Amino acid sequence: MTMLSLRLSRALAQGRAPSDQPDNRAALLAALLRKRAAAHNAGAHGLEAMLRDQIRWALPIEGETPTCEGAS
């Protein structure tokens, strides 16, 4: 029984679709941009706005540069 369950487990694992998770931030942003463009083309304004928020969240944030407000 154990060997049969092991073979079944391996067969199921080989038949599964590959993961849709992106490998890095660039791949994530590219996927989000494609989805946003598709939502725009379909006229789904609510979905497009949601995807824009996700794109903003996924963008890398660089350190703020110091401002020279007090300097003359």
- What is the rounded CA–CA span in Å between residue 39 and residue 35? 6
Task: Find how far residue 34's CA is from the centre of its chain.
Answer: 11
> Is position 29 within any domain?
yes
Please give the angle made by the CA atoms of 26, 30 and 33, to the nearest 5 degrees: 135
Task: Render pLDDT for 21-35 as a digit per residue (tens, 0 to 9).
Answer: 778 888 889 999 999
> Is position 1 within any domain?
no
More confident: 35 or 4: 35
Task: Render pLDDT for 40-50 as a digit per residue (tens, 0 to 9).
Answer: 999 999 999 99
The answer to whether residues 32 and 54 touch, using CB atoms and an 8 Å cutoff, is: yes
Domain boundaries, position 44: 22-59
- What is the rounded CA–CA span in Å between residue 32 and residue 40? 12
> Is position 67 within any domain?
no
pLDDT, position 72: 47
Is pLDDT above 90 for 38? yes
Number of domains in the chain: 1
> Is position 8 within any domain?
no
Tokens of 49: 């706005």
